Amino acid sequence: MQKQLTEKSFFYHAKCPRWVSRDVVHGAHLDALESLLIDDSVLPEVHEGLLKARGEYEAVRDEDTDDAFQRTVALMQSGAQTIYGAVFVDGHWVGRPDVLERVEGQSDLGRWYYVAIDIKRLHTQKSVRDEHKLQGAFYAELLERVQGVRPTSGYIMTPDGTVMRYDLEAFEVEYRLTLKRIEAILAGEEPEHALTTGCKASPFFAMCLDEASSCDDVSLLNRVRQEEIDELRAAGIDTVLKLATADLATVQSKMFSISDDRVAFLQRQAIALKEHVHDVVEPVEFRASDVEIYFDVESDPVRDVDYLFGVLLVETQKSGHKQATYRAFVAETLDGEREAWEQFAAFLAEHRYAPVYHYGWYEIGVCARMIERYGAPEHAIESWENNFVDVNAALRSRIIFPLSFYSLKDIAQYLGFAWRGEDVGGVNSIRWYHEWLESGNHAALQ
């Protein structure tokens, strides 16, 4: 029996093409929460809350896939305005758009046809990625097979009810190429392997890493792009060792699109990996301050709530002793996000001259969204604009670590740090928050 091709297949392929093939052999290995997180989905109760606010809707709740498909078609033929939980089946293709919306226009159904809308935790048009568009193109093709009309636009509804449109016709070629690659993988073709940051999202990451490590693949280099991998391989540089030991000028002379400086940087990465030592390209300097703030955000994407604004306040005493105090501004209920944010914003305003260190772009983006949604004191906004320091951005081009990935956990472990608790991480934090909301277990909240 041929493996199903679903809307999730496009996300798996975008993250790691071998995820598609390994899913065929081993199964998805994703629980319900992980399955939602992988493509920016939200919980069904969030879906239905949004739809209820918009008016009446019909729902497909049949557990059997074929029955659900028949129910979907019947609702489309009846002209239902809004259909939630639709299911399409065509051979080994199975599509599950969150919402179908009726629009005016001639089709095999009558003087109407349907477009697909997915509900995602996205907040701006720029956050609509190729994977989302591929998913929308897949729905459009399935819709055409039922109603005889192919929608030319795809839609995403945000958790605040905003509907964002994207053009499907301009994305048709990319969709066809990706679909062809996925079908080939499902038919048994093994995709060429390259270790990427997307592999870390896969439940088969350990297999990807072992495979790349066993052959010393050049994709082990941190943030090396696929086109760079292809060009290096074409020049005979397919392992980290070959790049580390090659004559730099010779390699540079064989490159067409990779600059000499970039080749030199990649070689320094290769040497660091082989020698297991970090390489300081340029010292990283941070401004001196008697007060420093280290900041992290924890979010529940499937409920669309940012539930923890955590800070470590480090104050240098006159004696030179550093005193560290942890503060947690927590949304203890789903309605508590605003209060948690306002408490954190007041804290920022109180310490408006202190540098605020964070790791990666996420904290900056969350603060921007909170300021737009709830506002903030003037001094807090000034701190956000002037004092936030992305440690990841500061070190990435200046320090070469002997690592394939530069996540905070990867670098901290390399430097000898360890987490006090086991199984710490973003997904488990969400699980504990869900446990707190559902059971009131204070241990989970802590």
pLDDT at 203 over 90: no
Domain ranges of the chain: 5-186, 215-277, 284-446
pLDDT at residue 264, as a whole number: 97
Look over the chain and give the mean of its residue pLDDT values, rounded to a whole number.
Answer: 93
Q: pLDDT class for 32, splitting at 50, 70, 90?
A: confident
What is the mean predicted confidence (pLDDT) over 3-15? 93
What is the mean predicted confidence (pLDDT) over 220-239? 96
User: Above pLDDT 70, what percent of the chain?
Assistant: 97
CATH code of the domain occupying 215-277: 1.10.150.20
- pLDDT, tens digit, 9 for 90 and up, residues 302-337: 999 999 999 999 999 888 889 999 999 999 999 999
- pLDDT, tens digit, 9 for 90 and up, residues 151-171: 999 999 999 899 999 999 999
- pLDDT, tens digit, 9 for 90 and up, residues 287-304: 999 999 999 999 999 999
pLDDT at 223 over 90: yes
pLDDT at 204 over 80: yes
- Nearest residue to 93 (alpha-carbon basis) of 202, 3, 204, 199: 3
- Nearest residue to 93 (alpha-carbon basis) of 21, 151, 8, 215: 8
User: Above pLDDT 90, what percent of the chain?
Assistant: 78
pLDDT at residue 438, as a whole number: 83
- pLDDT, tens digit, 9 for 90 and up, residues 329-362: 999 999 999 999 999 999 999 999 999 999 999 9
pLDDT at residue 424, as a whole number: 62
Distances from the Cα of 225 to the Cα of 29, 160, 391, 418, angstroms:
27, 35, 22, 30
Q: pLDDT class for 27, splitting at 50, 70, 90?
A: low
Q: pLDDT class for 24, splitting at 50, 70, 90?
A: low
DSSP H stretches of helix in 191-314: 205-214, 226-234, 240-245, 248-254, 260-275
Q: pLDDT class for 201, splitting at 50, 70, 90?
A: confident
pLDDT at 253 over 80: yes
- Has domain 284-446 been given CATH number 3.30.420? yes
DSSP H stretches of helix in 62-129: 65-78
pLDDT at 64 over 80: yes
What is the mean predicted confidence (pLDDT) over 55-65? 95
What is the mean predicted confidence (pLDDT) over 192-198? 88
215-277 shares its CATH topology with 284-446: no
pLDDT at 25 over 80: no
- State pTM to two decimals: 0.88
pLDDT at 261 over 60: yes
Distances from the Cα of 243 to the Cα of 188, 200, 251, angstroms:
32, 24, 8
For residue 276, the tally of other CB atoms under 10 A from its CB is 9
Q: pLDDT class for 422, splitting at 50, 70, 90?
A: low
337-350 helix and 378-386 helix, angle to the nearest 10 degrees: 80
Handedness of CA 365, 370, 372, 373 (dihedral sign): positive
For residues 33 and 41, what is the distance between their CA atoms, to the nearest angstrom? Answer: 10
What is the mean predicted confidence (pLDDT) over 27-45? 80
What is the mean predicted confidence (pLDDT) over 265-284? 97
Out of 57-61, 147-151, 312-316, 418-422, least confident range: 418-422
Sequence-distant contacts of 153-156: CB under 8 A, at least 24 apart: 153/115, 154/115, 154/116, 155/101, 155/115, 155/116, 155/117, 155/118, 156/117, 156/118, 156/119, 156/120, 156/122, 156/128, 156/132
Handedness of CA 316, 317, 323, 325 (dihedral sign): negative
For residues 204 and 116, what is the distance between their CA atoms, to the nearest angstrom? Answer: 31
